[in-house]
Chains A and B, each alone.
Chain A
Amino acid sequence: MLEAQNLSLSLNGKSIINDLSLHVNKGEIHGILGENGTGKTTIAYLIMGVNNYKPSAGRIIFEGQDIADLSVSQRAKKGISLAWQEPARIEGLRVRDYLRLSSNNQGVVPIERYLWMVGLEPDRYLDRDIDTTLSGGERKRIELASVLAMRPKLAILDEPDSGIDILALPYILSGIVEMNKLGSSVLLITHNEKVVEIAHRVSVLCAGKILRTGEPAEMSLWFKENCQKCIHINEPVAGDEK
């Protein structure tokens, strides 16, 4: 479904993404596991096309088409969406309206359902604005609900667990699984090896490069034993790449 081929991106002379290749299959939850500063969010931005990020080399192929020159809207219309690590606050935009526009006003599924799926009571949230009156955790859950409402072919979820309290995390994870069951492939970006347990495959990221890809349990263990203890911050050592 999605194939990133030899992607590179430098910002202010610094290499952020470094000849990265990645393949997300249709129907798959694909985890990207990486420490802070390894380029996780940059991958999300490159695929979605936000923040004026364009690869300096390489191609982003979605369903057989190179999308690197498409606008954010065009990519979204092709079926890609992004839940931001720190979602924007928009004054005066009600949760109800945000979910409706995300669902393209299809009305096939009542929007209330998407809030239930992330553990939020619709009666308490539908008429609230997605502004600063929501806590960080509430806003992130609403962000996930809006991606659920969109029913994208590929959902890019950038650190959906960060800022989420321990009681709410199961709702986030079950929402992602539900999203996948409803037909979305998911690129699940996180630094938390527990979160990728719901993935089908996991890639470990370091210095803007995929070091290895494999089963979640195996990759989580490798990440714990190598990346979390690594003193070569963001500098893979010989033998890491596989």
Chain B
Amino acid sequence: MKISVEKEYQGMVDAYGKAGGDKNALLGKEIARLVIHENRVLSANEAKGLKMETKETETGVNVSLVVEEGVKIPSPVHLCFGVLPKEGLQEIIMKVNARDNSEVSVIAHCIFPNAVKVVHKMDAEIEIGKNARFDYKETHYHGEFGGIEVIPKAKINVGKGGVWQSTFALSQGLVGKLDYDFEVFCQEKAVAELVVKVYGKGADDIKVWEKIHLNGAGARGLAKSRIVLSDKAKAEVKGETYGNAPHARGHVDCIELVNGTEAVARAIPIVSVTNGQAKVTHEAAIGSIDRKQVETLMARGLDESEAVDVIVKGILR
């Protein structure tokens, strides 16, 4: 039996609300948004200067987003992707073009509350124009079964003076299997910031790969990751930054906290400079939760588990 689009949409909104999201972001008529359940587009609401085109495929949806030249979208654009049944496949092929001097903030909510055997893939090609600014925040809401595979991949080109900032956050529910791979190419004076925050539990398997190529003079990049692991979760984080132009500045910043004795964390920072006037640095720290931090909070009356919780929430905030 096929359920109506309205019911399907309400199901997505309810799941989002249950996960702690603000339902109004998916309901208000004036809010620019795109809501996709499995391979069906349930809602597409454009804003002035923002064009959305979608094409449903057998396994997902092809999406095109264009922000017109010089347009500054005043409110965040909400994207909502999800699979509500226990099993399913969702492949999102996305092409984004933020034209010169445009500005937009996009908030993506990815909802998989019942996943037992679900695959969510995103392949994105993103073009940020000259002096354009694109903020992208993707937050995942997973259930407690861990039966999900999340594979977000993006190639981003940031034009002269443009800014790309992205945050990928997955701290609710079990991660399942994550294979994150974002690669940014920065032209002259462009800025890229990639931030990943993940809380792995159970038998979660996490792979994070952040790559920044600083190809233009004066380009700047930060590849930052914050991973907390409990139980038998494992994570491997690769942060790569290449300084290929004069006065390019890059930094790789990775912290992985291991809570318990069975979780496994690896960090592989790669920094490379092919221009004598470029500078790229890195710092990576892997270890247990700092005892002094825990005792600082315990000395304020928190139990040890409460103190650890505060520290974990902080690092993933």
**A73 interface contact, C-beta 8 A:** yes
Contact bitstring A75-114, B, C-beta under 8 A = 1, else 0: 1110011101001111111000100011010000000000
Contact bitstring A45-85, B, C-beta under 8 A = 1, else 0: 00010110000000000000000000111011100111010
Stretch at the interface among B117-125, B179-187, B293-301: B293-301
Given contacts A72-B299, A73-B298, contact A90 B304 (CB under 8 A): no
B292 touches A88 (CB 8 A): yes
Interface of A is mostly: mixed
B300 touches A102 (CB 8 A): yes
Q: Which residues of B contact A88 (CB under 8 A)?
A: 290, 292-293, 296
Given contacts A50-B295, A90-B296, contact A150 B301 (CB under 8 A): yes
Q: Which residues of B contact A91 (CB under 8 A)?
A: 226, 255, 314-315
**A190 interface contact, C-beta 8 A:** no
**A146 interface contact, C-beta 8 A:** yes
Most chain B CB inside 10 Å of its own CB: which residue of A48, A82, A91, A129: A91
B300 touches A93 (CB 8 A): no
Q: Which residues of B contact A82 (CB under 8 A)?
A: 299
State the CA gap A71–B305 with chains docked (Å).
13
B295 touches A104 (CB 8 A): no
A76 touches B300 (CB 8 A): yes
Most chain A CB inside 10 Å of its own CB: which residue of B291, B295, B314, B315: B295
Contact bitstring A119-131, B, C-beta under 8 A = 1, else 0: 0000000000100
Given contacts A88-B293, A88-B296, contact A93 B301 (CB under 8 A): no
State the CA gap A88–B255 with chains docked (Å).
16
**B56 interface contact, C-beta 8 A:** no
State the CA gap A82–B297 with chains docked (Å).
10
Chain A nearest CB, measured from B295 CB (Å): 4
Q: How many A residues are at the interface, by size bracket?
A: 20 to 34
A71 touches B304 (CB 8 A): yes
B300 touches A101 (CB 8 A): yes
**B5 interface contact, C-beta 8 A:** no
B295 touches A72 (CB 8 A): yes
**B302 interface contact, C-beta 8 A:** yes
B293 touches A73 (CB 8 A): no
B299 touches A81 (CB 8 A): yes
Most chain A CB inside 10 Å of its own CB: which residue of B291, B302, B304: B302
Q: Which residues of A contact B291 (CB under 8 A)?
A: 51
Q: Which residues of A contact B284 (CB under 8 A)?
A: none
A73 touches B310 (CB 8 A): no
A72 touches B298 (CB 8 A): yes
Chain B nearest CB, measured from A47 CB (Å): 11
State the CA gap A87–B299 with chains docked (Å).
12
Q: Which residues of A contact B300 (CB under 8 A)?
A: 76, 81, 101-102, 146, 150
State the CA gap A89–B304 with chains docked (Å).
17
**B317 interface contact, C-beta 8 A:** yes
Q: Which residues of A contact B313 (CB under 8 A)?
A: 92
Q: Which residues of A contact B316 (CB under 8 A)?
A: 92
State the CA gap A80–B295 with chains docked (Å).
13
Chain A nearest CB, measured from B289 CB (Å): 10
State the CA gap A72–B299 with chains docked (Å).
6
State the CA gap A50–B296 with chains docked (Å).
9
- In the complex formed, the residue of B with least CB distance to A84 is B296
State the CA gap A90–B310 with chains docked (Å).
9
A73 touches B290 (CB 8 A): no
Which residues in chain B, 99-113, are within 8 Å of chain A measured between CB atoms? none
Q: Which residues of B contact A150 (CB under 8 A)?
A: 300-301
Given contacts A50-B295, A88-B290, contact A101 B304 (CB under 8 A): no
Q: Which residues of B contact A93 (CB under 8 A)?
A: 310-311, 314
Of A71, A89, A92, the residue contacting B298 (CB under 8 A) is A71
Which residues in chain A, 127-165, are within 8 Å of chain B measured between CB atoms? 129, 146, 150
B301 touches A76 (CB 8 A): yes
State the CA gap A71–B298 with chains docked (Å).
9
Besides the known contacts A81-B301, A91-B255, 4 further A-B residue pairs in the complex with CB atoms under 8 A apart: A72-B295, A73-B301, A92-B317, A102-B301
7 tightest Cβ-Cβ pairs between the two chains A and B: A92-B314, A92-B317, A72-B298, A93-B314, A76-B301, A50-B295, A102-B300
Supply 8 A–B pairs (Cβ within 8 Å), ascending by A: A48-B295, A50-B292, A50-B299, A51-B291, A72-B298, A82-B299, A92-B317, A93-B310
